[in-house]
Amino acid sequence: MADSLTVIDNRTEKKYEIPIENGTIKAMDLRRIKTSDDDFGLMSYDPAFTNTACCKSQITFIDGEQGILLHRGYPIEQLAEKSTYLETAYLLIYGELPSGEEMDGFVNQITHHTMVHENIKKLMDGFHYDAHPMGILLGTVGALSTFYPEAKNIMDQEDRHRQMIRLIAKMPTLAAYAYRHSRGLPYTYPDNSLSFTGNFLSMLFRITEPTYHPHPVLERALDLLFVLHADHEQNCSGNAMRSVGSSHVDPYSAVAAAIAALYGPLHGGANEAVLHMLKDIGSKDKVAAHIKKVKAGEVRLMGFGHRVYKNYDPRAKIIKRLVEEVFEVTGINPLLEVALELERIALEDEYFIARKLYPNIDFYTGLIYEAMKFPMDMFPVLFAIPRTAGWVAQWEEMLLDPEQKIARPRQIYLGQMQRDYCSITNRPSQAPARDR
Ligand SMILES: CC(C)(COP(=O)(O)OP(=O)(O)OC[C@H]1O[C@@H](n2cnc3c(N)ncnc32)[C@H](O)[C@@H]1OP(=O)(O)O)[C@@H](O)C(=O)NCCC(=O)NCCS
């Protein structure tokens, strides 16, 4: 069996052999298919990249049909149970789990890069009191590039890694400052004696106590949520990171672009939408009526369905178990009853079964965050902090891949072809429908 595709162009009756490698054909091979010498050649059209591989990667594997997620080969279930966010970050970046010594070194480096320049506080102060924390995060991460001019040396391994460490380390600090700013609270400096998530909780919630003692269950729960959000291959923000990074801009600017992508409600905002939906439904007895509306196409069941997963999102299963542990500490969020009933009915209903719509990662995360006293506008920020590990790992892989170049897609131009400029007095008036 030949690993190739035989294509007959019916316009010319010419036959082409296109090699198949790793289950793909190279889009550039289509260019050979022409009707004449001056024909540009065939392109593929794929808005939203639904069937286009933009890179070769060794970081994250997803089998959406089976509901499998692996980081560097390790199942997410095992990482969730046995690993930590920082160990998973190390794995994503370096490709292997660290030895004890390597892990200590990595944690030490991250811990000693959590402070931000004092001028960042002034920058924060410039934001309006009700500025969205994700907007603040986006702006301040971008601003970090001006504090570290050596970040431009992206091909210098030492410089590059220092920025990757800084990004992972400073993200919780910026996020916590953004939160404190919106509450009118003084900024809390990082506490190096605490864990990554313990320190984050301290920077968020410490008031006057000399040392903040995070609740161990909540500290671990947040760490587990960070493990589950660390990477998800070529999603919208990962793609933004690679695409903007391909211009060889510094990584702070590229992460700002990735955060911008994540800010959108279709990406990082779904867990907030789930919470709104659960609040709107209000009680268990109203669930059936809501499902009816979903089936009539009036609304979508938020937290259900996924572009890649056509099975239960493996991360959602883990989070569902976590809900109980968190609620034992925080008290039950009454919306849990509504969520469980929604899930029960949907999983038995032909509409959802036929469309392979299962709960995704966002279905339960909002309930946990709310129980942990995070305001809703912090939800996408809680996604951005751990996803930074994935973004920088994807970014470095892209930079070191000799097959990569500056990202520059093609288009199908359907507009006017060349025509002559005509002076304003001689122009026909626009059709009334073109209301500007
Ligand atoms: C995630 C999502 C955008 C993926 O969309 P997609 O892969 O483009 O899937 P489509 O929009 O093509 O949907 C396929 C079918 O399932 C239906 N569908 C998809 N998600 C649905 C949902 N959450 N509720 C109800 N119906 C849904 C669509 O109406 C469509 O039905 P049809 O074939 O009868 O027209 C989509 O499932 C969604 O909007 N989910 C809710 C938002 C959410 O939870 N986002 C977080 C993702 S991590």
> In this predicted structure, what is the pLDDT of residue 435?
54
**Mean pLDDT across 78-96:** 98
**Mean pLDDT across 278-305:** 95
Helix (H, G, I), strand (E, B) or coil at 61: strand
**Mean pLDDT across 419-431:** 90
Q: How far apart are CA 173 and CA 176, in angstroms?
A: 5
Confidence of residue 430 (pLDDT cuts 50, 70, 90): confident
Q: How many CB atoms lie within 10 A of CB 71?
A: 24
**Mean pLDDT across 194-214:** 96
Question: Which residues have CB under 8 Å from 53's CB, separation 6+?
Answer: 24
User: Does the structure show a pLDDT above 80 at 321?
Assistant: yes
Residue among 113, 232, 290, 306 flagged as catalytic: 306
> In this predicted structure, what is the pLDDT of residue 140?
98
- What values do phi and psi take at 19, rounded to 5? -65, 145
Tokens of 240: 């933004």
User: Does the structure show a pLDDT above 90 at 241?
Assistant: yes
User: Does the structure show a pLDDT above 60 at 183?
Assistant: yes
Q: Is 307 in the pocket of ligand 1 (CB under 6 A)?
A: yes
**Mean pLDDT across 403-426:** 97
Confidence of residue 429 (pLDDT cuts 50, 70, 90): confident
Low-confidence winner among 89-98, 315-324, 384-393 (lowest mean pLDDT) = 315-324
Low-confidence winner among 108-122, 181-195, 265-279 (lowest mean pLDDT) = 265-279
Helix (H, G, I), strand (E, B) or coil at 189: coil
- Nearest alpha carbon, ligand 1 atom 33: 355
> In this predicted structure, what is the pLDDT of residue 307?
86
- What values do phi and psi take at 68, rounded to 5? -115, 135
Q: Is 293 in the pocket of ligand 1 (CB under 6 A)?
A: no
Tokens of 401: 């891949």
**DSSP characters for 313-361?**
-HHHHHHHHHHHHHHHHH---THHHHHHHHHHHHHH-HHHHHTT--B-T
Q: How far apart are CA 80 and CA 87, in angstroms?
A: 11
User: Does the structure show a pLDDT above 80 at 384?
Assistant: yes
- Nearest alpha carbon, ligand 1 atom 5: 307
Q: Are 311 and 62 in contact (CB under 8 A)?
A: no
Domains (ranges, CATH) in the chain? 4-44 (no CATH), 62-403 (1.10.580.10)
Question: Which residues have CB under 8 Å from 129's CB, separation 6+?
Answer: 181, 182, 184
- Nearest alpha carbon, ligand 1 atom 7: 307
Give 390 Cα–ligand 1 centroid separation in angstroms: 25
User: Does the structure show a pLDDT above 90 at 431?
Assistant: no
What pTM did the predictor assign?
Answer: 0.94
Give 240 Cα–ligand 1 centroid separation in angstroms: 22
β-strands 14-19, 4-9 pairing: antiparallel
- End-to-end, the C-alpha distance of the chain in Å comes to 59
Q: How far apart are CA 229 and CA 223, in angstroms?
A: 10
User: How large a percentage of the chain has pLDDT more than 70?
Assistant: 99
- C-alpha Rg value of the chain to the nearest Å: 25
Q: Chain centroid to CA 350: how far?
A: 31
Higher pLDDT, 84 or 182: 84
Confidence of residue 434 (pLDDT cuts 50, 70, 90): low
- 263-298 b/e (C-beta count within 10 Å ≥ 16 → b): beeeebbbbbbbbebbeebeeeeebeebbeebeeee
Q: How far apart are CA 325 and CA 81, in angstroms?
A: 14
Q: Are 81 and 111 in contact (CB under 8 A)?
A: no
**Mean pLDDT across 128-148:** 96
User: How large a percentage of the chain has pLDDT more than 90?
Assistant: 93
Residue 362 annotated to the active site: yes
Would you give the DSSP letter of residue 7? E
- Nearest alpha carbon, ligand 1 atom 46: 270
User: Does the structure show a pLDDT above 80 at 433?
Assistant: no
Q: Which among 69, 272, 300 is the best mutation to test ligand 1's pocket, defined by most ligand atoms within 8 Å of the CB?
A: 300
188's enclosing H/E stretch is: none
- 83-94 b/e (C-beta count within 10 Å ≥ 16 → b): bbbbbbbbbbbe
Give 295 Cα–ligand 1 centroid separation in angstroms: 12
- Nearest alpha carbon, ligand 1 atom 16: 355
**Mean pLDDT across 146-168:** 98
> In this predicted structure, what is the pLDDT of residue 100?
98
> In this predicted structure, what is the pLDDT of residue 418?
98
Give 306 Cα–ligand 1 centroid separation in angstroms: 7
Q: Is 362 in the pocket of ligand 1 (CB under 6 A)?
A: yes
Q: Are 196 and 143 in contact (CB under 8 A)?
A: no
**Mean pLDDT across 195-210:** 96
Q: Are 122 and 146 in contact (CB under 8 A)?
A: no
Residue 306 annotated to the active site: yes
Tell me what the pLDDT averaged over the chain comes to.
95
Q: Is 366 in the pocket of ligand 1 (CB under 6 A)?
A: no
Contacts 24+ apart (CB under 8 A), 62-67: 62/232, 62/233, 62/308, 62/309, 64/306, 64/308, 64/309, 64/310, 64/311, 65/310, 65/311, 66/311, 67/309, 67/311, 67/312, 67/313, 67/314, 67/358
Residue among 223, 313, 362, 377 flagged as catalytic: 362
> In this predicted structure, what is the pLDDT of residue 19?
98
